[in-house]
Amino acid sequence: MSQPPVVLATASYDHTIRFWDAKSGRCYRTIQYPESLVNRLEITPDKRYLAAAGNPHIRLFDINSNSPQPVMSYDSHTNNVMAVGFQCDGNWMYSGSEDGTVKIWDLRAPGCQREYESRAAVNTVVLHPNQTELISGDQNGNIRVWDLTANSCSCELVPEVDTAVRSLTVMWDGSLVVAANNRGTCYVWRLLQGTQTMTNFEPLHKLQAHDGYILKCLLSPELCEPHRYLATASADHTVRIWNLDGFTLEKTLGISGGFGIVFSQWMALF
């Protein structure tokens, strides 16, 4: 059967990855993932492969194949992999783990090409749109910018001491970055390009977005312009949409039952 035009991929504590027809809600493919829980899903820019971040490995699956076996495995992390993503051309992949490291991988080879020590469990990593800087957030509340050209840490921030940074998101044009933490707070900075091509953070706003800890924050894509929004998902069972013009609350969506809101970390749409 042919693949639907719009596909949703999800992963769960039931050790499966499922592919859904987004329009009908029908599951048309299931991959068993018995080795660990899946902490994150991400799709390559060319939409050919799906990366599943587990403990302590990353598996790459062919989206257009019916094979349940991964096409590649990346295995040098030693604890839960909490973040994974791809360079814009799909030439390399980055990851962050509770083993305290950020790694860069060549997709054509199983070995790790670069490793950066965060000195605390890494919860989130994002790639700056300039494709030359990674930004990570860790369990101790540190935000670090990793300059891939200089191969070093170029900036460190601690918005709240000993308060875990749970999620990071960067505006599509590189103008803003948001960090969400375990106290339901979002810190917003302007990103300014320095004279040495190093990104500088200028404080813009502190938003008390939720009462519970935030699981995920996400800035709106280019197609929403000129309107700009921030979405936050929390353990308080709500998803909230914020208008960045004044940081006003646009809408609150309620999720009933348990920690169902966690799904926002694991879905991938393509």
Q: Which of 209, 207, 208, 178 is nearest to 191 (CA)?
A: 178
Query: DSSP readout, 232-245?
Result: EEETTSEEEEEETT
Token pair recorded at residue 243: 């208008």
Reading the chain (270 residues) residue by residue, the pLDDT tens digits are 567 888 899 998 899 999 999 889 999 999 999 989 999 999 999 999 999 999 999 999 999 898 999 999 999 999 999 999 999 999 999 999 999 999 999 987 768 999 999 989 999 999 999 999 999 999 999 999 999 999 999 999 999 999 999 999 999 999 999 999 999 999 999 998 754 556 789 999 999 999 999 999 999 999 999 999 999 999 999 999 999 999 999 999 986 544 333 333 334 444
Token pair recorded at residue 107: 């997709």
Q: How far apart are CA 140 and CA 138, in angstroms?
A: 6
Q: Are strands 238-243 and 229-234 parallel, antiparallel or unpaired?
A: antiparallel
* pTM, two decimal places: 0.90
Amino acid type, 89: D
